[in-house]
Structure 1
């Protein structure tokens, strides 16, 4: 609601008759205010609203603006009265404030004079107490100086004794350091020997892997030649009986391809099983070697503890330093052992995960190859059913495409086997190197 309407809304409704139930006031341009649908009567006219004439509307506007002007004048009068009352109150407050200020000033002056007298009396009293306390402190200082001199002599004697003990401790620590250095040198020599043994084992594994690769390559070559011979024999047989035994030839072709597919899957599964068994066996061997590598460290730790115990017995005055040195050495051994175990477990997990991913990828490729072979088989059988007149051409195409597919399958299989062998060899080398480190 706008400001002019907000000021007079209450007055407008009060001026309406008691039978009127509602009022709707809207603004129309700059010409003033017009009432539309002011109220509804309990007994309305035909259209349900009261009709308002132009004269009634003008009379209502004049009453509205006259009432507005009266309210404005009343507001100005109230404002002037309030201002005069505020000015009189403010002047009274200023007068009271000046009176209170003068009163406080006099009280402060009296308080300052009283404080000065009190301070003078306190100063005299403190001078007397200071002289008495000074004399007492001088006597106490002389007595304390004598006691400190005697105590200084006793401290100097104790310091000389402690210097002798520290010299003995330094000699003992130097002996321990030399013995520890000898022990560490012996341990390093044993580790170098282990590294040499691991290198020899790696060379042996490489030679074994190469022999296995050559054997598998020879086996695959023989299988490929046998497949080619079978294809040639099947081609000759199909050329002889292409008119009389069409259905039988199609069935034989389907059975032969299915058998070859099954044989490939069996060989692939056997290869995967062999690779997995080989990996498990190598991991078990590595685990045993790792345990044998850790055992010397445990023995060395026990020997060191026994040596430290003997030193405790021979040097009881340095038991605390020796015990701390022993604890530091044992903590270092435990930390090294823990890090070796964690690295070994992480490496085993990585090898297993890589092996699983490799086998999964090989299996997926085998499935894709199987689908390709099945689709190729169906297509070729469908081509063979088209007629005896084009059987020779279809058989030739079939033989060529089948040879290509078999060559691709064999090449893919060889590549997968070679890749698996290289991956296994690399994994074993890394594991052995990790153990040696």
Structure 2
């Protein structure tokens, strides 16, 4: 007869076996992947974090579509250009949800644009697009705001007279002021306390008169309320500030590591643009090498490894596999931008990835830093315009170098919502 201790050991073993078989049964039709453990799934294998190196190794073993278990929740990972493109565009609306599992939805946010799904997301996204257009996206009005902030940034860097500086704060302030000018109707000086609070909180409250009494006020399903308004503005600030500011910080690292590229960009700028000419987004068509370098910066320095995870809003088929409603999809964007089947030298900084044999700019289908499908980045056009105008203004005015006596710069990526560089000092030497 079993004693109490033996009974509990047997019970635990029995429950573990039941749980293991339950996971095996639940995942029998899903893409293969590493064997999950009872209760914790593959979390032990991941070190409880989604490291790109781990996903790369798993893709080499299990292929470009595989299943991970985060606890008892299956997550399908898409790896490489073809898997990500087909997975996000073939049945695009079916995978347009956002995760509701505790692992991905820590704050329970169900407002705004980025983290919402279904009716709320569709209504808020339409409103966001309409607002961006009304504020001048794609027109000279918004471009003028970006040009103005680029001018202020150049003035600030000029005042430093080539001394070592950390560009993190100045870049964030400049990009944040573009959004402030759009949604608040004004820019802030760099020492303004309000701007500092905005940068720290990356949030803002906006209550224009009548904003809550729009044309859908009598619609019982409307999502136009104060909570969604606040979160939509928050989404604008996060997406419109940190993503481009982070890309510019990586850009300077790439330039100081490849001075020949920096010099070639400057020669092209000098030959095409006058020293005081106002730089417009349209000028990219006459600056093929510069445009290629900007694209290569985004490709090589991937800042959003999996973008924002998706969730199936209905039973669907994903690359031939039947996938039930509620399953989380992780598109590995960085694996697309370094896919050896798409890029000649995927792990090297090489602007010729975007140039044809005659030196003309060449777009690439595998260039997907803004993701794809129904949830493609809402602010893609804004980000592209900001990045081009800021980058060209900086390179026309300065040569960027490491401080005297410094021979190396840290290129390791800090894992977070964005892959950010470590803080560094750099000299913006006036030309």
Normalized against structure 1, the TM-score is what? 0.21
Q: Which has the higher contact order (CA 8 A, sep 6+)?
A: 2
* Structure (1/2) with the larger strand percentage: 2
* Larger Rg over CA atoms: 1
When normalised by structure 2's length, the TM-score is 0.21
